[in-house]
Amino acid sequence: MIEVREVRSYWDRRAFLNFPLKLYRNNPYFVPPLYIDEKKIFRKDYFYNKTSESVFFLAFKDGKVSGRISGILQKAANEKWNQRRVRFTRFDCIDDVEVAKALFDALENWARDKGMREVVGPLGYSDMEREGLLIEGFDELSTFEEQYNHPYYQKLIEAQGYQKEVDWVERKIYAPKEIDPRIERIVPLIMKREKLRLVQCDSTQEILDRYADQFFDLVDETYKDLYGTVPFVEGQREDIVSGFKLLLSPYYIRLIVDSEDRLAAFGICFPSISKAVQKSNGHLTIPTIFRILKAKKNPEIIDLGLIGVTEKYRNSGVSWAILLEIMKMLKSGKVEYCETNLNLKDNLSIQNNWDRFENKLHKRRRAFIKKIAD
């Protein structure tokens, strides 16, 4: 017997958060999010509630928790893209098509009650959350920023009538055997012509104090036309800054400013903390904090977070300055490789950049869509 119920009680919320931790116990590729961050989705004052409505469902088979799913009515996204959609996220399930059907039926009924016409996902509240279903690369360690899932998830989702909407790909990029001398020659000329300079700060706090507001404005500007993006909401910036303090290392941040110290471009990489949080199932214990700090100091892998360039300099070649700095990071010998995280498959401007590096396409993710009403 399969029962689906909306998450309302403390015990249901706890079961919702703990289900994937149990489902992926001892899986060497699964990397949990920080538990303390996941708990925020149930807070009434969660900053995403300013622009969204959410629902959470649990599925029980023979009395045992067997699946979960969350729905997001992202009003800001629907308004921006002129859509009537609900996003599904945090879908986890045993390999049982009937359990999956019961979860999606509950979610789709909720979406219809809200007057929506389509369900898409996996997508979070914004593109700063984990998104996309892994469809290739199941034997690769997940990054901390992205979600791992079992191979059978695709079968379960497609069985409910969902079809591909977009794909993302991820690469491992390695230091080029030799940095192209043309890049090393042209970057200083571009910087001089545009009156730009590279800034190196001594601490994460200094970076945040001087450039945090400009950084968020530039992220909004750079990514505004990409699939599913929404502007930052009040409270989100402060939450991200709080997380940055733990994860960022100044050495892996590159900032380019103009003559008035205004941010013109940036590149942010994170020391990989995937292995550091695996052992504690995402709980921020004292040993976990020590492992994170160790990973920050001497990372084996770095994760590419974001690259941004202001519209004024987008066609000036300034992005090559950021790419050159990433090449230098990798050539330093301190890390084995860099994970690009998600890049839209049809975003050729970013895909072509990786041809300058030794690279391996090792993961693919997909967002699905289903029409539920005319």
Q: For residue 183, what pLDDT is reported?
A: 87
Per-residue model confidence as pLDDT tens digits over 314-347: 888 898 999 898 888 888 777 899 999 999 998 8
Residue 315's contacts (CB-CB under 8 Å, 6 or more residues apart) are none
The residue with tokens 């050159």 is 324
- At 136 the pLDDT is 97
Nearest-angstrom CA–CA distance, 192 and 321: 12
Question: Which H/E stretch holds residue 244?
Answer: helix 236-247
Q: Which two tokens stand for residue 116?
A: 């929506």
pLDDT digits (tens, 9 = 90+) for 14-57: 999 999 999 999 999 999 999 999 999 999 999 999 999 999 99
**How far is Cα 157 from Cα 68, in angstroms, rounded to an integer?**
13
* Distance separating alpha carbons of residues 113 and 140, to the nearest angstrom: 39
> What is the separation, in whole angstroms, between the first and last Cα of the chain?
32
- The pLDDT value given to residue 200: 83
Do 116 and 53 contact (CB within 8 A), yes or no? no
The amino acid that residue 54 corresponds to is S
Total Cβ atoms within 10 A of residue 287: 11
| Rounded distance between C-alpha atoms, residue 65 and residue 57, angstroms | 11
- Which residues in the chain land under pLDDT 70? none
| Cα dihedral sign, 107-110-114-118 | positive
pLDDT value for 175: 86
What is the model's pLDDT at position 246? 78
Predicted local distance difference test score (pLDDT) of residue 30: 97
Please give the pLDDT value at position 155. Answer: 98
